[in-house]
A and B are shown apart, each in its own frame.
Chain A
Amino acid sequence: MSTATMNAVPTLRAENVSIRFGGVQALDSVTLEARPGEITALIGPNGAGKSTMLGCISGTLAQNQGTIMIGDKDVSKSSAQRRAALNMARTFQSPQLVTELTVREHVVLARRAGAEVKSGKFMTSVRFVLALIPFISRGISKAELAEADALIDELGLGKDRDKGPSDLTLGQRRLLEVALCLATGAEIMLFDEPSAGLDRAETEHLGQLIQKLASERNITVVLVEHDLELVFSISSRVFVLDFGKLIDSGTPAEMRASKAVQTAYLGTTEDE
C-alpha cells in the first residue's frame, strides 16, 4: 500500500453500525473505512451481515445505531436518494433491473440519473415539465447511445445491448448492475457480489475493470464478495464479518494468514 493512499482523506466511514431484525442482531457495532483510490473488501461466511452493511451504507436499510460519514457529511439519517446525490452508487446481490428497458436504455438512464441527481430537485422538476412538451423532451440521442455502447462493450454485453433483463443470464444481469453503477459516474461504488454467476475469465476481467476504475478515477470501492481469490487479488484492505461482528481487518496478506478468518470460514476443531 503506498504512503499516498494511506494518507488519503477517508471518503466513506461507517462507525459502530448496529442493526437488529426482530430477534436477530444482524450487525453489531461494525466500523469500516473505505478510502479513495482503493478497493475495500467486506468478506465473511453466509449470513455474516455483509449485504446488510451495504444496505446501511447505501441507505436502503436504516441502522439502529452508528454513523455513516461521506467525507465530512454525516448521512446516517439521509435517504438512499440523498446518498445517491452525494455520488454513491451500488449494485444488488439480487439484480434490481427494469423489465421494460433494454440494456442500452438502462445505461442511458443511469448516465442521466448520475448527471441529474447532482443538479438538484429544482432541475428535476424542470425536467419533469419539459418531458411533457413534445419535441423538447429528450428521447435517446445517438451520442448518448454511442457513449452507453462503449461502456456496454467494455463489460462484454455488446451483443446483448438490445435485450431486456429477462433475456439475460444471471451473470449478465449482475454485469448490467455493474454497468449501471459505472454509468452514474459515482465517486463511491458499492458492489454486492458482482462476480456471482460469472465464469473465471469474466470474473478476472471484471476484477481488472474495478481495479482500473479505483486507481485511475480515484474511486472509493466497497466490494462484498464470496470469491476470495478475486478479493485478495484486487483489494487494498479487507474487513471480515462473522455473525454480524467485525472479527478482523487488514491487508489481503494479513487476512490470508488470520486465524480468526480461517476459523470463521472453516470452523474449529475440538482440539482448538
Chain B
Amino acid sequence: MLSFAIAGLAVGALYAMSAMALVITYNASRVFNFAQGGMAFFLAYCFYYMGNSDTGLGWNLWLSAAIVVLIIGPLLGLFLWWMLLGKLGNLAPLTKVGVMIGLQVALVAITTLIFGHDPVYLVYGPVGEPNVIFSVFDVNVSNEQFIIIVTAAIVALGGYWVLNRTMAGLVTRGSVDSELMTVLTGTNPKFVVASTWAIGTGIAGLAGLMVLPKVGLSPGGFANLIAASMAGAVIGKFTHLWRAFFGALVLGVTQEVLVLYLPSDGLLGTALRPSLPFLFMVVAVLVYSQQKDVKADSQKVEVAAVNNAYEVSLSKYLNIMRNPKGHWDRYVGYAVLVVVLVGIPILFNEYWTGLLAVGFCYTVIFLSYRLVTGEAGIISLSQISFAGIGVIAAAYVVNHDTWFGAANETPVLLAMLIGGIVAGITGTVVGLLCLNLGPLYAAIVTFAFALLVDQAVYTRDEFSNFGSGLPFGRPEIFGMNFDTPKTFYWFGAVVMFIVMFVLWSLRRSTTGLVFATIRASRVRAATLGFDIYIARVGVFALGAAVAGIGGTMVASFQLVAFPNGFVMTIGLVWFALAVAQGTSSMGGLAAGGMTLLLAPAIFSEFLPERLADLPVLLFGLVAINMVVDPIGINPNLRAQFRHLAIKMSGGTVHSPSFEEESETKLPAGV
C-alpha cells in the first residue's frame, strides 16, 4: 500500500505542478492554457535534444533541464504572450479556446517538424537512470520519485511564499481582480500577465520533463498529464491555486493506489484508472453547478465580453449579407458547385475521387460543429469521440449477433443509423454532465471525455480487433452498393447535402431563432421562457449523432472500423480547422472537411516525408488567425464575394456603428 502511495504521490506531484501552471496563467490572463501540453512537449523535446548524446548535443541532464526550465520555457511564454496570448484577454470564449487549440496543434507540429515525428519511448528525465536511494518502512524510494516530490513541494511552497509574502505576489493577486488597482500601484499590468506566462510555461516545462520517463516523447503521451491537471484546475474553479494543486495531487495518488484494488483485466481493471480525471471533473462540475456563485460567476466571466471582436466581425458580415443588392451571387455559387460536383468524377482518377468521397464523410462529421458550436455555442472537443463511438457501435452490430440480425447479416445502412443513435445517446449523457456551467467547463470536460474514450474504449479488443479494426462494408440502397470510389462519391455527396438541408431547416425554424438568442444573450433567452439547458443538451446530442453517422461513413469507405483514427489529438486538429473556417458556416465546414483530406494528400505528393506535419501546422496557424478574424475564413470570403456583387449591382455598403454602452451585460441567475 505504502509503495503505491509513494508512487501515487510522485505522479500526483507532477499533475499538481501542471495544474498550478494552468491556474496561475488563467488567473492573470483569463485565458485557459489548452496549449500547455504542446508547450511541455516542445520543451521536453528541447531537453531530449540537449541531453541525448546519440542524436543531440549530449549535455549534462541537469544543465539541460535548468536551461529548458529557467531560460527556454520562460522565453517561450514571453514570446507567445507578446505575439498572441496578450491579445486574447477580452475575446469571446470560443475565440480564446479556438486560438489556444490552434496553438496546441501548431506547437506539436512545429516540434515534430524540427525534431522529427518518430515517437521516442525510452527517455530519461533530469535524474537520468532511476536508482533506489532510500527505504521508508521497507518501501524503496527512487531518486526520480524523490526529486519529483521535493520539486513539487518547493514549487508549491515557493509559490505560496511569493504570492502571500512578497510585493510581487500582492500585485499579481491584485491584478486578477482589478487592472486599474495594479496601475495605481505603479506596476504595468501587462508586465504582470507576461511574467505569469513566463513562470507558468517554465512550470509546465518542468512537469513535462519529469513525466518524460513515464510517457516518452509522443504528442499523445502528455495528454494524461494535461487531463489530470485540467481536472485539478476544474476542482480549483480555475482560480483557486491550492484547491487545484491538492485536487490534482489526490487524483494522482488515487490513480496509483487503485491498482491495489482493481482486477488486472476486464472493463474495471483497464477503464477505471484512465477515467479518473474525467470522473473527478464531472463530480466537481456537478457539485459546483449547485452553487449559485459559481454559476453566475462562470457566466459573468465567460459571457460578459459581448461587444467584442467576434460581435464586431459578425455585425460587419451581417451588414453586408443584409444589403438588398447583390443576392444573385448565390446562384453563381450554386452553378459553380454543380459544375465542380459533376466534373470531379469525370476529370479525376479513382484515387482523387475516392479522396473527395471521404472528404464528404468528414464534412458530415464537421457539420456536427455547426450544430454544437455554431448553433448552441458549445465548445465541444469530443466530436471526434462521438464519431469513433458511432463507428464502434456500427461495426459491433455488423460483426456480432445482435437484436438487429446475425453476424454479417445486419444491413450496413441500418448499422450506420444505429451508430448515429448510440453516439447521440452518449452525447446526451455527456451533455447532461457538462452543460450545467459555462463554456470553459464544457470544453474541458469534453476534452477529458475524448481522452477517456481513447484510453478506456478504443483499447478494448472487442472494438479494436487487436488493433487491426473490425471489418465494415458499404451500404446497399435499392440494389446499389457503392463499391467503387466513384459511386461512393455520390453516396457521400447525397448524405452530406441531406445533413446540410436539415441544418439549414433548423436554423430558419423557431429552434434556430432560439439558439441565436441563447448564443447572444442567455438572460434574454431565459426571460423569453426558453429552457436553455435542455435545448443545449438536445442539440449537443444531435451533434453527436451526426458525428457518429459521419464516422460510420468514413469506416464504410475504408471497409474497416478503425477506432484509432478517432483519437483526441486528431480531434484537436479537427476542432482547430472547424473554428478557423467558421463553425456557423456550412460552406466553411465543408471546406474544413475537404481540406483535412486534401491538404495532406497534396503535400505528400509534392513535399518530402519529413514535412508531413506541415499541413497540421497550417491548420493550427489558421485557427490562431481567429484573433484577427473571429468569425472564420469562410464567412469573410463569403462577405467579400457579396461585397463585389453589391458593387456590381450598383449598391453601396456602409459600416455598422458600435456604441459604447456603460452597462455590463450581466447574465445572472440563468
Interface residues of A in 70-125 (CB under 8 A from B): 79-81, 83-85, 88-90, 92-94, 96-102, 105, 108-110, 112-114, 116-117, 121, 124-125
| Complex Cα gap A55–B517 (Å) | 19
Q: B407 CB to closest chain A CB, in angstroms? A: 33
Taking the complex as formed, is A156 at the interface, i.e. its CB lies under 8 A from any CB of chain B? no
Question: Could you tell me if A58 and B520 are in contact, using CB atoms closer than 8 angstroms?
Answer: no
Question: Could you tell me if B669 and A94 are in contact, using CB atoms closer than 8 angstroms?
Answer: no
Q: A178 CB to closest chain B CB, in angstroms? A: 13
Q: Out of A102, A127, A133, name the residue touching B510 (CB < 8 Å).
A: A127
Question: Could you tell me if B510 and A109 are in contact, using CB atoms closer than 8 angstroms?
Answer: yes
Question: Could you tell me if A99 and B311 are in contact, using CB atoms closer than 8 angstroms?
Answer: yes
Please count how many residues in chain A sit with their CB below 8 Å of the partner chain's CB atoms: 58
Interface residues of B in 631-670 (CB under 8 A from A): 656-659, 661, 663-666, 668-670
Closest to B316 in A: A166
| 7 extra interface residue pairs, beta carbon distance < 8 Å, beyond A98-B519, A128-B511, A166-B658 | A81-B531, A98-B524, A117-B528, A127-B510, A132-B505, A134-B504, A137-B505
| Complex Cα gap A138–B506 (Å) | 9
Question: Could you tell me if B526 and A132 are in contact, using CB atoms closer than 8 angstroms?
Answer: no
Question: Could you tell me if A138 and B664 are in contact, using CB atoms closer than 8 angstroms?
Answer: no
Which residues of chain B have a CB within 8 Å of any CB of chain A? 292, 311, 314-315, 318-319, 322, 324, 501-502, 504-506, 508-514, 516-517, 519-521, 523-524, 526-532, 534-535, 538, 542, 656-659, 661, 663-666, 668-670
Residue-wise, chain A 44-61 has the 8 Å CB interface mask toward B (1 for contact) of 000000000001001111
What are 21 pairs between A and B in contact, CB < 8 Å?
A: A60-B527, A79-B526, A79-B670, A80-B523, A83-B527, A84-B526, A94-B661, A96-B524, A96-B665, A97-B521, A97-B524, A98-B516, A99-B311, A99-B314, A112-B513, A117-B528, A131-B505, A138-B510, A140-B508, A167-B315, A184-B528
| Complex Cα gap A105–B670 (Å) | 23
Question: Could you tell me if A84 and B513 are in contact, using CB atoms closer than 8 angstroms?
Answer: no
Residue-wise, chain A 176-217 has the 8 Å CB interface mask toward B (1 for contact) of 000010001000000000000000000000000000000000
Name the B residues within 8 Å of A101 (CB-CB): 513, 516-517
Question: Could you tell me if B513 and A109 are in contact, using CB atoms closer than 8 angstroms?
Answer: yes
| Complex Cα gap A180–B504 (Å) | 25
Q: A68 CB to closest chain B CB, in angstroms? A: 13
| Complex Cα gap A92–B519 (Å) | 17
Question: Could you tell me if B530 and A166 are in contact, using CB atoms closer than 8 angstroms?
Answer: no
Question: Could you tell me if A80 and B669 are in contact, using CB atoms closer than 8 angstroms?
Answer: yes
Q: B106 CB to closest chain A CB, in angstroms? A: 30
Closest to A139 in B: B508
In the complex with contacts A98-B517, A102-B322, A112-B513, A169-B527 CB distance below 8 A: no
Q: B661 CB to closest chain A CB, in angstroms? A: 6
Shortest 3 CB-CB contacts between residues of A and residues of B:
A117-B529, A84-B529, A94-B663
Taking the complex as formed, is A254 at the interface, i.e. its CB lies under 8 A from any CB of chain B? no
Q: Out of B311, B506, B516, name the residue touching A131 (CB < 8 Å).
A: B506
Closest to B662 in A: A94
Closest to B532 in A: A81
Which residues of chain A have a CB within 8 Å of any CB of chain B? 55, 58-62, 79-81, 83-85, 88-90, 92-94, 96-102, 105, 108-110, 112-114, 116-117, 121, 124-125, 127-128, 130-135, 137-140, 162-164, 166-167, 169-170, 180, 184
Closest to A118 in B: B529
Q: Out of A60, A89, A127, A137, name the residue touching B669 (CB < 8 Å).
A: A60
| Complex Cα gap A60–B506 (Å) | 28
Name the B residues within 8 Å of A127 (CB-CB): 509-511
In the complex with contacts A55-B668, A102-B322, A131-B512, A92-B523 CB distance below 8 A: yes
Closest to B665 in A: A94
Q: Out of B322, B514, B663, name the residue touching A164 (CB < 8 Å).
A: B322
Question: Could you tell me if A84 and B668 are in contact, using CB atoms closer than 8 angstroms?
Answer: no
Question: Could you tell me if A81 and B509 are in contact, using CB atoms closer than 8 angstroms?
Answer: no
Question: Could you tell me if A94 and B319 are in contact, using CB atoms closer than 8 angstroms?
Answer: no
Q: Out of B315, B542, B669, name the residue touching A166 (CB < 8 Å).
A: B315
Question: Could you tell me if A124 and B509 are in contact, using CB atoms closer than 8 angstroms?
Answer: no
Most chain A C-beta atoms within 10 Å of own C-beta, residue among B311, B524, B531: B524
Q: Out of A96, A138, A169, name the residue touching B659 (CB < 8 Å).
A: A169
Q: Out of A84, A94, A130, name the residue touching B528 (CB < 8 Å).
A: A84
Question: Could you tell me if A167 and B319 are in contact, using CB atoms closer than 8 angstroms?
Answer: yes
Q: B299 CB to closest chain A CB, in angstroms? A: 11
Name the B residues within 8 Å of A117 (CB-CB): 528-530
Question: Could you tell me if B664 and A94 are in contact, using CB atoms closer than 8 angstroms?
Answer: yes
Question: Could you tell me if A137 and B506 are in contact, using CB atoms closer than 8 angstroms?
Answer: yes
In the complex with contacts A55-B668, A100-B314, A137-B524 CB distance below 8 A: no
Closest to B656 in A: A166
Name the B residues within 8 Å of A135 (CB-CB): 505
Q: Out of B517, B656, B658, B669, name the residue touching A62 (CB < 8 Å).
A: B669
| Complex Cα gap A90–B526 (Å) | 11
Q: Out of B292, B319, B511, B513, name the residue touching A108 (CB < 8 Å).
A: B513
Q: A76 CB to closest chain B CB, in angstroms? A: 13
| Complex Cα gap A164–B665 (Å) | 18
Name the A residues within 8 Å of B526 (CB-CB): 59-60, 79-81, 84
Q: A127 CB to closest chain B CB, in angstroms? A: 6
Q: B127 CB to closest chain A CB, in angstroms? A: 48
Question: Could you tell me if B528 and A113 are in contact, using CB atoms closer than 8 angstroms?
Answer: yes
| Complex Cα gap A233–B630 (Å) | 47
| Complex Cα gap A135–B657 (Å) | 37
Q: B59 CB to closest chain A CB, in angstroms? A: 54
In the complex with contacts A61-B668, A80-B669, A84-B526, A163-B521 CB distance below 8 A: no
Question: Could you tell me if A138 and B661 are in contact, using CB atoms closer than 8 angstroms?
Answer: no
Q: A43 CB to closest chain B CB, in angstroms? A: 19
Closest to A115 in B: B510
Q: B536 CB to closest chain A CB, in angstroms? A: 11
In the complex with contacts A99-B318, A127-B511, A134-B523 CB distance below 8 A: no
Q: A164 CB to closest chain B CB, in angstroms? A: 5
| Complex Cα gap A184–B502 (Å) | 28
Q: B606 CB to closest chain A CB, in angstroms? A: 41
| Complex Cα gap A201–B41 (Å) | 65
Q: B62 CB to closest chain A CB, in angstroms? A: 49
Name the B residues within 8 Å of A96 (CB-CB): 520-521, 523-524, 527, 665
Name the B residues within 8 Å of A170 (CB-CB): 659, 661
Name the A residues within 8 Å of B542 (CB-CB): 132
| Complex Cα gap A10–B532 (Å) | 30
Question: Could you tell me if B505 and A110 are in contact, using CB atoms closer than 8 angstroms?
Answer: no
Name the B residues within 8 Å of A130 (CB-CB): 509
Q: B331 CB to closest chain A CB, in angstroms? A: 20
Q: B395 CB to closest chain A CB, in angstroms? A: 26
Closest to A80 in B: B526
Closest to B511 in A: A131
Question: Could you tell me if A112 and B656 are in contact, using CB atoms closer than 8 angstroms?
Answer: no
In the complex with contacts A113-B530, A164-B322, A59-B535 CB distance below 8 A: no
Closest to A82 in B: B529
| Complex Cα gap A135–B528 (Å) | 26
Q: Out of A60, A85, A132, name the residue touching B523 (CB < 8 Å).
A: A60
Q: Out of B519, B527, B659, name the residue touching A89 (CB < 8 Å).
A: B527
Name the A residues within 8 Å of B520 (CB-CB): 96-100
| Complex Cα gap A89–B523 (Å) | 12
| Complex Cα gap A132–B539 (Å) | 11
Closest to B510 in A: A112
Question: Could you tell me if B527 and A84 are in contact, using CB atoms closer than 8 angstroms?
Answer: yes
Question: Could you tell me if B663 and A93 are in contact, using CB atoms closer than 8 angstroms?
Answer: yes
Most chain B C-beta atoms within 10 Å of own C-beta, residue among A80, A88, A130: A80
Question: Could you tell me if B510 and A164 are in contact, using CB atoms closer than 8 angstroms?
Answer: no
Name the A residues within 8 Å of B666 (CB-CB): 94
Name the A residues within 8 Å of B314 (CB-CB): 99-100
Name the B residues within 8 Å of A121 (CB-CB): 531, 534
Name the A residues within 8 Å of B664 (CB-CB): 94
| Complex Cα gap A89–B529 (Å) | 9
Name the B residues within 8 Å of A110 (CB-CB): 528
Q: A157 CB to closest chain B CB, in angstroms? A: 15
| Complex Cα gap A101–B314 (Å) | 11
Question: Could you tell me if B505 and A134 are in contact, using CB atoms closer than 8 angstroms?
Answer: yes
